[in-house]
Amino acid sequence: MNAPAELIQQHVIDPEICIRCNTCEATCPVGAITHDSRNYVVIADKCNLCMACVPPCPTGSIDNWRTVPKAAAYSVQDQLAWDELPAPLSEAELASLGATPVASSDVQHNAVQSSVASATTGDGVALNAASLGATIPPWSAAHAYTNLYGVKTPVQATVVGNVQVNEAGTTNETHHIVLDFGSMPFPVLEGQSIGIVPPGVDAQGKPHHARQYSIASPRNGERAGYNNLSLTVKRVVEDPNGQAIKGVASNYLCDLKTGDTVQVIGPFGASFLMPNHPKSNIVMICTGTGSAPMRAMTEWRRRLRQSGKFEGGKLMLFFGARTQQELPYFGPLQKLPKDFIDINFAFSRTSGQPKRYVQDLMRERGADVAALLKDANTYFYVCGLKSMEEGVVLALRDIAHEAGLSWDQLAPVLKREGRLHLETY
């Protein structure tokens, strides 16, 4: 008599609500998530069920499972072709495949959760910097509303503004786009994001999936008291290898005119939120359009300060771009009071000057950063290209060591208390 087929709980991603933000793939410590131009999928024989990817997912699309015989697990090719998740197999279907159903508790989702925390190099720096990022918000953050509008039920917003916010004629053309929701409720907080659904279809004739953009305006609107928000969007004209491409959503957004309408889903994000308690300090580290959530946080603090309603702590910004001309919002940043925010610019392609990155500036300001690291009221936010993540974490580690702090002890505290947030792409 043949033994019953071994069952597994296969981890799968719902393609209908996934916004392709790459958070799961960036977070996975074992490289079990991959993607093509259409779908993000989980490689069944690589996934160790550690659950590290589940809390950071902004939509919950990754928190899906299917009970299947191990020998008949859905392949990567199967999953890449999905437009929706397959229905769970019934007991009769499992039996027809030679399997004996088991209680879900017999399949452990978190069997190796501790492996994420212990995946470190010899000097205590995590191999996967993303694993150090908090998945909970600061204790004093306001309540975030999420997933109010899905792919099947988007909300329509009207474009009420679209201006370029870096120097005209430079590469990395970046726009500040304002969307108004009229009478439709769309509550947001600083640090949240939305999904934009571009019109038309892709090369396979399928509707374009939503693209995620961080909100660049504070909770009470780009224009205070209005039901609107803003985005910071770079026009994508080449891929990371320098090959010419035309980003579907970015070019669509950058070309919008006042009065045009767009389809929006979300909002997303319940952890990359700013603290609201008095004396809380915020250290913001960003590159390019990663400045969007930092602009939102800064503007909310500025409005509170202006109204006399907030006894604020320190704001410190490390902002990187290739050149001053490419840096978004350079002009407005110059107008902010020096006693309100401590701004540090890093330019990596200035003619005749050495390359400088945000982590270099952090080290130069190491004494000030260390003082903030020692303060339990300090919160760190990192947003920008994925390539900056490791350098920033290493800089924080080195600054901590030079100040006599144990990074191995401090890093878990920052994560546990929602004080170090990483959002890179």
Residues acting as catalytic residues: 213-214, 383, 423, 425
The vertex-422 CA angle with 245 and 391, nearest 5°, equals 80
| Pairwise CA distance, residues 425 & 9, whole Å | 29
CA distances from 278 to 140, 198, 218 (A): 9, 41, 18
Residue owning tokens 């947003």: 383
Long-range contacts of 119-127 (CB under 8 A, 24+ apart): 119/29, 124/397, 124/407, 124/408, 125/393, 125/394, 125/397, 125/407, 126/393, 126/411, 127/29
Provide the 3-class DSSP secondary structure of residue 236: coil
| Pairwise CA distance, residues 253 & 153, whole Å | 20
Residue owning tokens 């020998």: 71
Burial grade of 257 (CB within 10 A; 0-12, 13-18, 19 or more): exposed
CA torsion sign for 241, 362, 332, 223 is positive
DSSP state of 149: B
| Pairwise CA distance, residues 195 & 186, whole Å | 13
160 CB contacts (<8 Å, ≥6 apart)? 178, 179, 180, 228, 258
Burial grade of 141 (CB within 10 A; 0-12, 13-18, 19 or more): buried
Q: Please check whether residue 268 is in contact with residue 193, taking contact to mean a CB–CB distance below 8 angstroms.
A: yes
Q: Please check whether residue 42 is in contact with residue 74, taking contact to mean a CB–CB distance below 8 angstroms.
A: no
Amino acid at 119: A
State the CB neighbour count (10 A cutoff) for residue 235.
Answer: 17
